């Protein structure tokens, strides 16, 4: 009596994989959203059951189903926990695409994704505007003007210069922007394509600068450029735009032997291009080659650019010329750094050891492990904006784990995490704890 | 059934006045989301209520008693016998939201908790206090204490430490009429009245809803030592198991993997396991450091005498972890071989393990279905897993026959249908293979006395007839 499935072959092709799910429930134990809500529909098992019902025709697509499918951080913890190897997140993405969830996003977000992020010039412009705000102290003004709790928190997380211990009012001069980069750089070993993610350009230009510095010290010149990687579109089911952006990026980086990025999410997406364009006659081979050339900056530096102690001043000498910008941060003898694994780095790209190796090699820095370091922080890209409460809830658990490890600084490798961790710590009353990108600790 | 759904509609209206409406759900999506457990069977409830307090549990049951609709308690839905499936419709009562650990009493070595606490969370919490909650079902990272109690769950450590029932000191139970009883408490000895505390352990949610449990704890053993031994012939492994125990050592775990398990794990992980070996034993001793060393040495000697071809003693926890990887990989490895795996849970006297394995091998040949065997050799609890395809009708008919043959063989060898997963829906047709008619009648009489209206988890355990 069941009506024939009204769904496209694109969703249908996952049916066999869906059948592999034996409803064991292991993914519920791994899902940060389930831990928070205890709601089956939040874990992969429930979402897969809904997709299966959609395909069977026993459930009509509608807002209820769409809401469950939208409630996912795409953190891939479920995929990792699944003994049967069910490609959970791929199926969730395919279902989002099928239900055209993109169309159901709030207007402002859609505008951002398709109007701004697809245009590099606009992203750069917005980045400069935000940078200006940061310098002019507009954040403090905004804090007073903006209503509610979320936006002031977000605003502060976005605009506040990283408040480092002992940095005092002069925090802006903290990073050695003007510390004579050329004097530190070795003769170039070559030039890499530096994929500057939109979020870093917009919100954390200090990270982009630190990345270029770290690359320079390892002897690499960086050619910064990008179109949006397409992840936000892909995640919300707008595969068409994602594919278009993929093709543009492949062309943009055609002449570089290595494509390096400091955004975990962009990196994961760029490595996914091979898959995304597998059925594109013209671009499939190019995409495959492109994805193989992509490296996260920590991956690249750990393999290529082992820092050369001869050429570096010791980053954190116990005493030294007070003029060195790093010093007031590192007044303490040893700095305890807790590293949070971004989902898109740890599970998305299998990069867990490299950032830890780089950090552990920084003199004066002690790497401390927090409980569940690779559990999602709750940022989930735009999830942070679409599911305020839930994201805050997941962040609360993360902040607890961080604070229990007692670090002086929190380190991670993704702008989404930087933002969410900062907000979670602010909520926990520890907005003073610096949250930095791995590369920011390498080049000091 | 439409009678029930209209009754439940009314109940939902009324319940929304007593309970946060966000936790009283009857959307098509919510009904689908609470229609399954780890048997992958599916039965749609008419509504779902997520209780946050014993009072809410009582409210639902009182209403069910008054209006007459089924209520099915549900923990994490990881059951392997269909216990939390609403086979007769009605309301699924979800208890995962009641997840407080109320008290860890170090002096009396007891923990008081709500039923929705995840087993691993409870273990971690008491271990931080230097205490130990031994029952360790493999699903411990995602199943609940309530589900463990209702199924009397066990695990590898059962050999030395027993199963869930051995750790229950007290329970708060809401009865089918909505009234609450408290049984037991923190005292370790208690013979006041019938031992009804244990009546509710393993009752599969058919007699009452557990809303609080007081569980016994042990001091956390400071050391453990892990060994792995391979045997060319299964009988040698069985001899080793008997010899270890006869040598006066009670390991905390004694896990068995058969040749197919070894083969598929090796295919999957390439750990360098000998594929020709008919059996692998993973043995773990725990206790004080000196004690564990001595036990491990004795276990190793006994295994060699029994003819082990290969023996590894883990030097540290990292090595131990590597040995356990093989055992933990069995499920993932065999899940990849064919679309569906159907895991059974028979338990035979320890001495009958080799005979049982040989019987299963014959059944495998007779029905032409691959069957992988692993389990807890120490207590005779074997998990034969049939690898099949749920969507192949013809093959599934053969699977049914094979399952019956396995049950018959187990009972003939003095064993039972289920060591730890329960009867629920999936095994109720076979109850008569194991229990006498009089025993079944006695159980039915108890059910009738506690739940005269038959509203709590009806249709479970007993096949056909009235609840
Ligand atoms: C991969 C895997 C491995 C497993 N390994 C083991 C193992 O090693 N050992 C083992 O014993 N089991 C094992 N199981 C089975 C299962 O995990 C256990 O039976 C577990 O105890 C079920 O807990 P749950 O919270 O999921 O309960 P559910 O499946 O939700 O419910 C199980 C039964 O308990 C009842 N119930 C739940 N909560 C309550 C309550 N508060 N009051 C009254 N009744 C209640 C339900 O009505 C139902 O009848 C395994 C399952 C899986 C999927
Ligand atoms: S862990 Fe895998 S098989 Fe188990 S319920 Fe989740 S998706 Fe299904
Ligand atoms: S991807 Fe993360 S948030 Fe989404 S269902 Fe899986 S575990 Fe949960």
Question: Is residue B249 located within the same domain as residue B212?
Answer: no
From B49, B80, B426, the mutation candidate for ligand 1 (largest count of ligand atoms within 8 A of CB) is B80
Residue A287 confidence (pLDDT) above 90? yes
Residue B58 phi, psi (nearest 5): -60, -40
Domain that includes residue B106, residue range: 1-219
Residues B173 and B249 in one domain: no
When pLDDT is cut at 50, 70 and 90, the band that residue A178 belongs to is very low
Among residues of chain A, what percentage have pLDDT more than 90? 50
Q: Which atom of ligand 1 is found nearest the CA of B95?
A: 41
Residues B25 and B163 in one domain: yes
Q: Is B159 exposed, middle or buried (0-12, 13-18, 19+ CB in 10 A)?
A: buried
DSSP B21: G
pLDDT band of A322, cuts 50, 70, 90: very low
- Residue B123 falls inside a structural domain: yes
In this prediction, residues A108-115 reach a mean pLDDT of 72
Q: How far is the CA of B83 from the centre of ligand 1 (A)?
A: 8
One domain, residues B81 and B128: yes
pLDDT 10s digits, B348-399: 999 899 999 999 999 999 999 999 999 999 889 999 999 998 889 999 999 9
Q: A50 and B118: CB-CB below 8 Å? A: no
Q: Is residue B460 part of a domain?
A: no
Q: Where are the alpha helices (DSSP H) in B306-436?
A: 317-328, 330-335, 353-367, 393-412, 431-434
Specify the pLDDT at position A218: 84
On whether residue B351 sits in a domain, the answer given is yes
For the segment B148-190, what is each residue's pLDDT rounded down to a tens digit? 999 999 999 999 999 999 999 999 999 999 999 999 988 878 8
Beta-bridged to residue B181, according to DSSP, are B173
pLDDT of residue A303: 85
Residue B96 Cβ inside 6 Å of ligand 1? The answer reads: no
- Res. A430: pLDDT tops 50: yes
* Best mutation target, B27, B30, B32, to test chain A (most A CBs within 10 A): B32
Domain stop point among B332, B360, B377: B332
CA torsion, ordered A177, A180, A184, A189, to nearest 10 deg: 80
For A23, the closest of B30, B38, B391 (CB atoms) is B38
Positions of chain B with pLDDT under 50: 1, 465-467
A186 falls in which pLDDT band (50, 70, 90)?
A: low
- Structure confidence at residue A157 as a pLDDT band (50, 70, 90): low
DSSP string, A324-385: STTTTGGGSSSEEEEEPPPHHHHHHH--SHHHHHHHHTSTTEEEEPPTTTTS--S-TTTHHH
Pocket of ligand 2 (CB under 6 A): A 21-27, 44-45, 48, 81-82, 84, 86, 88
- Six-digit token string for A111: 């505008």
B60/A contact by beta carbon, under 8 A:
no
Residues B240, B174, single domain; the answer is no
Q: How far apart are CA A328 and CA A321, in angstroms?
A: 11
Q: Do B304 and B322 belong together in one domain?
A: yes
Q: Residue B76's closest CA among A340, A40, A329?
A: A40
| Domain co-membership, B247 together with B171 | no
User: Domains in chain B: how many in total?
Assistant: 3
Partner residue facing B32 (CB), from A29, A50, A83: A50
Candidate ranges A175-189, A308-322, A366-380; pick with highest mean pLDDT: A366-380
- Most confident among A6-20, A287-301, A316-330 (mean pLDDT): A287-301
Looking at the fold, whether B26 and B43 belong to one and the same domain comes out as: yes
Same domain, B136 and B2: yes
Q: What is the CATH number of the domain that holds B373?
A: 3.30.70.2740
Find chain A residues with C-beta within 8 A of B341's C-beta. Answer: 22
Q: How confident is the model at residue A117 (pLDDT cuts 50, 70, 90)?
A: confident
B12 assigned to some structural domain: yes
Domain membership flag for residue B448:
no
Interval A315-341 mean pLDDT: 54
Least confident window among A123-132, A173-182, B290-299: A173-182
What tens digit of pLDDT does each residue of A223-257 get?
998 899 999 889 888 888 999 999 999 999 999 99
Which CATH number does the domain housing residue B80 bear? 3.30.465.10
Kindly state whether residues B173 and B201 are assigned to the same domain. Answer: yes
Q: Average per-residue pLDDT in chain A?
A: 81
Helix A297-304, helix A353-360: angle, nearest 10: 60
Q: Is the ipTM reported for this complex over the cut 0.95? A: no
DSSP characters for B195-261?
A: -THHHHTT-TTSS-EEEEEEEE-EEPPSEEEEEEEEESSHHHHHHHHHHHHHTT---SEEEEEEHHH
The answer on B370 and B266 residing in a single domain is no
Q: How far apart are CA A229 and CA A293, in angstroms?
A: 15
From chain A, the residues in CB contact with B339 under 8 A are: 16, 19-20
Domain containing B284 — which CATH number? 3.30.70.3450
Ramachandran angles phi, psi of B142, nearest 5°: -145, 0
Tokens of A326: 């790093």
Q: With the C-alpha atoms ordered A222, A228, A234, A236, is the resulting torsion angle positive or negative?
A: positive
Among the listed residues A163, A111, A108, the one whose alpha carbon sits nearest the alpha carbon of residue A134: A163
**pLDDT, tens digit, 9 for 90 and up, residues B250-274:** 999 999 999 999 999 998 888 889 9
d(CA B407, CA A170): 76
Taking the centre of ligand 3 as the mean of its atom positions, its distance from the CA of residue A33, in whole angstroms, is 7
Q: Is A276 in the pocket of ligand 3 (CB under 6 A)?
A: no
d(C-alpha A293, C-alpha B284), whole Å:
46
Residue B432 located in a structural domain: no
Name the domain boundary from B391, B412, B433.
B412
What pLDDT is recorded for position A334?
Answer: 75
B275 lies in a domain?
A: yes
Q: Is the pLDDT of residue A145 over 80?
A: no
Residues of A in contact with B99 (CB under 8 A): 38
Which residue's CA is the nearest one to ligand 2's atom 1?
Answer: A82
Do the beta carbons of residue B280 and residue B228 sit within 8 Å? yes
Element (H, E) at B72: strand B71-74
Backbone angles phi and psi of B301, in degrees to 5: -60, -50
Q: Domain check: are B314 and B234 in the same one?
A: yes
Residue found under tokens 């791929």? A90
Ligand 2 midpoint to CA A22 (Å): 6
In a domain, B64, yes or no: yes
pLDDT of residue A365: 86
Q: Per-residue pLDDT averaged across A177-203, rounded?
A: 70
Nearest CB partner across the interface for B33, out of A25, A26, A40: A40
What is the rounded CA–CA span in Å between residue A199 and residue A228? 9
pLDDT at A141: 56
The residue out of B201, B219, B237 marking a domain boundary is B219
């Amino acid at each position: 009596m069941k009506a024939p499935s009204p769904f496209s072959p694109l969703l249908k092709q996952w049916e066999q994989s869906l059948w592999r799910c034996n409803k064991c429930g292991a993914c519920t134990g791994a899902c940060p959203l389930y831990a928070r809500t205890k709601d089956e529909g939040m874990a992969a098992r429930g979402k897969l059951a809904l997709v299966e019902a959609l395909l069977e025709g026993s459930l009509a697509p509608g807002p209820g189903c769409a809401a469950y499918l939208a409630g996912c951080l795409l953190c891939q913890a479920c995929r990792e926990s699944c003994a049967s190897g069910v490609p959970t997140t791929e199926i969730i993405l395919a279902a989002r695409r099928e239900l055209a969830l993109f169309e159901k996003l709030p207007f402002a977000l859609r505008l951002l994704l398709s109007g701004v992020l697809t245009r590099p010039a606009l992203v750069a412009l917005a980045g400069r505007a935000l940078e200006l705000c940061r310098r002019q102290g507009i954040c403090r003004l905004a804090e007073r003007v903006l209503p509610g709790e979320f936006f002031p928190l977000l605003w502060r997380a976005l605009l506040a210069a990283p408040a480092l211990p002992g940095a005092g009012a002069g925090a802006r001069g903290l990073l050695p922007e003007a510390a004579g980069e050329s004097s530190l750089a070795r003769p170039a070993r070559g030039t890499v394509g530096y994929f500057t993610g939109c979020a870093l350009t917009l919100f954390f230009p200090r990270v982009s600068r630190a990345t270029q510095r770290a690359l320079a010290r390892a002897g690499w010149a960086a050619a910064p450029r990008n179109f949006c990687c397409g992840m936000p579109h892909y995640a919300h089911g707008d595969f068409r735009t994602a594919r278009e952006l993929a093709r543009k990026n492949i062309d943009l980086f055609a002449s570089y032997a290595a494509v390096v990025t400091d955004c975990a999410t962009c990196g994961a997406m760029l490595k996914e291009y091979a898959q995304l364009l597998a059925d594109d006659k013209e671009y499939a081979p190019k995409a495959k080659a492109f994805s193989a050339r992509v490296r996260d900056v920590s991956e690249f530096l750990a393999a290529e650019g082992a820092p050369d102690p001869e050429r570096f001043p010791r980053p954190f000498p116990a005493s030294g010329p007070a003029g060195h910008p790093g010093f007031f941060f590192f007044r303490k003898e040893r700095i305890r750094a807790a590293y949070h694994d971004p989902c898109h780095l740890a599970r998305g790209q299998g990069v867990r050891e490299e950032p830890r190796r780089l950090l552990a090699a920084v003199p004066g820095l002690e790497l401390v492990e927090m409980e569940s370091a690779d559990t999602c922080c709750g940022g989930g890209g735009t999830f942070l904006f679409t599911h305020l409460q839930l994201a805050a809830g997941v962040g609360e658990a993360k902040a607890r784990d961080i604070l229990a490890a007692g670090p002086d600084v929190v380190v991670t490798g993704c702008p989404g995490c930087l933002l969410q961790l900062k907000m979670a710590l602010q909520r926990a009353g520890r907005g003073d704890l610096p949250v930095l990108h791995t590369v920011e600790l390498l080049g000091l | 059934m439409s009678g029930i759904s209209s009754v439940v509609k009314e109940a939902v209206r009324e319940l929304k006045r007593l309970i946060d409406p966000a936790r009283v759900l009857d959307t098509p999506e919510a009904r689908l989301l609470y229609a399954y457990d780890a048997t992958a069977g599916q039965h749609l409830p008419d509504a779902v209520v997520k209780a946050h307090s014993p009072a809410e549990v009582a409210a639902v049951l009182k209403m069910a008693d008054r209006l007459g609709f089924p209520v099915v308690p549900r923990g994490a839905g990881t059951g392997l016998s269909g216990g939390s499936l609403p086979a007769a419709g009605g309301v699924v009562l979800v208890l995962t939201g009641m997840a407080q650990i109320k008290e860890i009493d170090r002096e009396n070595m007891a923990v008081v908790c709500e039923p929705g606490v995840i087993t691993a969370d409870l273990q971690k919490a008491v271990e931080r206090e230097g205490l130990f909650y031994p029952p360790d079902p493999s699903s411990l990272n995602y199943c609940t204490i309530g589900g463990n109690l209702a199924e009397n769950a066990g695990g590898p450590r059962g050999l030395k430490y027993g199963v869930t029932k051995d750790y229950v000191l007290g329970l708060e139970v809401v009865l089918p009429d909505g009234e609450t009883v408290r049984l037991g408490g923190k005292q370790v000895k208690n013979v006041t009245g019938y031992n009804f505390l244990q009546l509710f352990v393993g009752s599969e949610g058919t007699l009452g809803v557990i809303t609080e449990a007081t569980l016994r704890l042990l001091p956390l053993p400071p050391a453990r030592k892990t060994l792995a031994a391979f045997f060319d012939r299964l009988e040698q492994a069985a001899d080793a198991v008997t010899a270890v125990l006869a040598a006066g050592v009670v390991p905390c775990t004694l896990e068995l993997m058969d040749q197919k398990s070894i083969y598929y794990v090796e295919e999957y992980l390439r750990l360098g396991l000998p594929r020709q070996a008919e059996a692998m034993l993973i043995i773990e001793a725990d206790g004080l450091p000196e004690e564990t060393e001595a036990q491990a040495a004795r276990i190793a000697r006994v295994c060699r005498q029994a003819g082990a071809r290969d023996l590894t003693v883990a030097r540290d926890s990292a090595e131990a972890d590597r040995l356990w990887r093989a055992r933990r990989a069995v499920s993932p490895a065999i899940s990849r071989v064919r679309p569906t795996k159907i895991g059974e849970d028979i338990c035979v006297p320890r001495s009958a393990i080799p005979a049982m394995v040989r019987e299963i091998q014959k059944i495998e040949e007779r029905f032409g279905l691959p069957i992988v065997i692993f389990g807890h050799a120490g207590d005779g609890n074997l998990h034969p897993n049939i690898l099949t395809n749920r969507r192949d009708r013809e093959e599934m008919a053969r699977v049914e026959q094979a399952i019956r043959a396995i049950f018959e063989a187990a009972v003939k060898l003095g064993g039972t249908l289920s060591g730890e997963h329960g009867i629920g829906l999936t095994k109720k047709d076979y109850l008569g293979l194991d229990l006498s008619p009089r025993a079944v009648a006695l159980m039915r009489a108890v059910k009738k006395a506690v739940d005269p209206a038959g509203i709590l988890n009806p249709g479970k355990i007993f096949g056909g007839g009235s609840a």
